[in-house]
Amino acid sequence: MKVTVVGAGLAGSEAIWQLAKRGIHVDVFEMRPKRKAPAFVSGDFAELVCSNSLRSDAKDTAVGVLKEEMRLLDSLVIRIAQETRIPAGSALAVDRVAFARKITETIEALDNVTIHREEVTEIPDTPCIIATGPLTSDALFIKLQGLIGTQSLYFYDAIAPIIDKSTIDMTKVTRASRYDVGEDYLNCPLNKEEFERFYDFLIQAELAPLHDFEEQIFFEGCMPIEVLAKRGPKTLLFGPMKPVGLSPEPYAVVQLRQDDAADTLVNMVGFQTRLSWPAQREMLKFIPGLKSAQIARYGVCHRNTYLNSPLFLDKHYQFKKIPGLYFAGQMTGVEGYVESSASGLIAGLSLARALLDQDPLPLDNTTVIGALSTHISQGNPKHFVPYNANFGLMRCQSEVKPSARRTALAAQAIANIETLVKSL
Ligand SMILES: Cc1cc2nc3c(=O)[nH]c(=O)nc-3n(C[C@H](O)[C@H](O)[C@H](O)COP(=O)(O)OP(=O)(O)OC[C@H]3O[C@@H](n4cnc5c(N)ncnc54)[C@H](O)[C@@H]3O)c2cc1C
């Protein structure tokens, strides 16, 4: 029994581990160090391309709970992250060189893994996991376009912040559509003074760094709200913040549109942005109704190859039309180091179970790892965007007050994964 894994980034490394430790032979194809996408510097597996932080370890955050779920499921990435941890308060930050080196050495030491330092330019035969990440090489990108169509394979993200609806002050917003036709939005109205304060903040707010290789994409395809703002306040008042058609008509408006089937998340219409994460949090304080709102998914404008997964993948990350072909990592529509690793864990474990004739993993949105699977397989394909782990994607099995929801979700998720692990 042999499996091909393409790409030994975070997701690929985790998938290799899950397969190999179950006795399955893995042929790994990793193009580095021969070919390196511009964000990478080494030939090591699981290189962290930007920050060295795997974000919060606290159990009252979704990413903290996800890490605990992954620990229970014997994640290689989380184990090595613990072993190479450096002080960073409640965040799990690592010595990035030691982290990538240890993952590489662990995989190299596995008897049933063969490593090929080669670029893959064709979709391999099954069984196979493709985990080539947001910077998938051009040759494979073209083959993936052939497999799923040019409209369903995205090349960059230009995404507005997505907000946890339960954290919006509903007394300050109205529900209405422009001219009373079409879809209803939540409207955050701003008077002249509020708009001017918002505008003054926006034109000087801090930006996330732009990589050289992203400049072209940025100018071609993505027009962030802060770039529009710098053209003058009227660009916003006649653009994404135009108040026309609302009654009574405010001076300006921020519109929020439902983003998920469960109606727990909303996105800020026309607010794709490259502001830094702290600046995005600060921006909300200038918008009536959003002063205490929590961002479930930050806005971004960056290079990011990803599939419109709900059209193609099932909850085990398997390509529905070709049994035995799996995808994993950021390219499936999860976002972040931990989430990418988590999807590699589920893809690797699911493929191993299929090859060993075992029942498919039971997964649903009562756990964080299951909520990510649900997002990539059942998200809305009309405006599918990658997501970080967040409680807004989850379903609570018991009736609890909104203030107790996070604690209940965290406890339920860990209990459910403990039960799952016992059954494996
Ligand atoms: C510039 C940038 C910065 C980011 N910063 C952060 C951050 O700070 N924090 C965070 O949480 N997330 C960040 N992300 C998002 C995401 O978490 C990371 O990209 C993460 O590394 C994704 O993991 P992955 O396993 O899906 O892909 P990767 O880690 O990118 O792994 C994919 C692997 O596939 C290999 N590969 C690609 N094409 C081929 C091919 N044809 N044949 C063989 N091998 C191939 C690559 O060399 C690579 O090793 C960032 C993304 C980008 C693009």
Indicate which CATH number applies to the domain containing 356: 3.50.50.60
Whether residue 141 sits in one domain with residue 78: yes
- Report, as an integer, the average pLDDT of 123-149: 96
Whether residue 200 sits in one domain with residue 275: yes
Whether residue 186 sits in one domain with residue 271: yes
Q: Which residues contact 331 (CB under 8 A, 6 or more apart)?
A: 130, 131, 132, 133, 134, 136, 305, 306, 307
Structure confidence by residue, pLDDT tens digits, 93-110: 899 999 999 999 999 999
pLDDT band at 221, cuts 50/70/90? very low
Write the residue with the smallest CA distance to atom 19 of ligand 1.
134
Whole-prediction pTM = 0.84
The answer to whether the CB of 190 is under 6 A from ligand 1 is no
The CATH number that applies at residue 212 is 2.40.30
The answer to whether the CB of 347 is under 6 A from ligand 1 is no
Whether residue 137 sits in one domain with residue 22: yes
Write the residue with the smallest CA distance to atom 3 of ligand 1.
50
Q: Is the pLDDT of residue 220 over 50?
A: no
Q: How far is the CA of 247 from the centre of ligand 1 (A)?
A: 46
Number of domains in the chain: 2
Whether residue 140 sits in one domain with residue 6: yes
Q: Is the pLDDT of residue 215 over 70?
A: no
Whether residue 275 sits in one domain with residue 215: yes
Whether residue 213 sits in one domain with residue 258: yes
Whether residue 348 sits in one domain with residue 262: no
| End position of a domain, from candidates 256, 280, 298 | 298
State the residue range of the domain holding 230.
Answer: 162-298
Whether residue 107 sits in one domain with residue 87: yes
Q: Quote the percentage of the chain above a pLDDT of 90.
A: 77
- Report, as an integer, the average pLDDT of 258-266: 82
Give buried/exposed letters for 327-359 (b at 16+ CB in 10 A, else e): bbbbbbbbbbbbbbbbbbbbbbbbbbbbbeeee
Ligand 1 nearest-atom number relative to CA 7: 34
| End position of a domain, from candidates 250, 276, 298 | 298
The answer to whether the CB of 217 is under 6 A from ligand 1 is no
Whether residue 9 sits in one domain with residue 126: yes
419's enclosing H/E stretch is helix 405-423
Ligand 1 nearest-atom number relative to CA 211: 1
| End position of a domain, from candidates 298, 327, 348 | 298
The answer to whether the CB of 136 is under 6 A from ligand 1 is yes
Whether residue 145 sits in one domain with residue 8: yes
Whether residue 194 sits in one domain with residue 256: yes
Ligand 1 nearest-atom number relative to CA 120: 42
Q: How far is the CA of 274 from the centre of ligand 1 (A)?
A: 19
- Report, as an integer, the average pLDDT of 34-48: 91
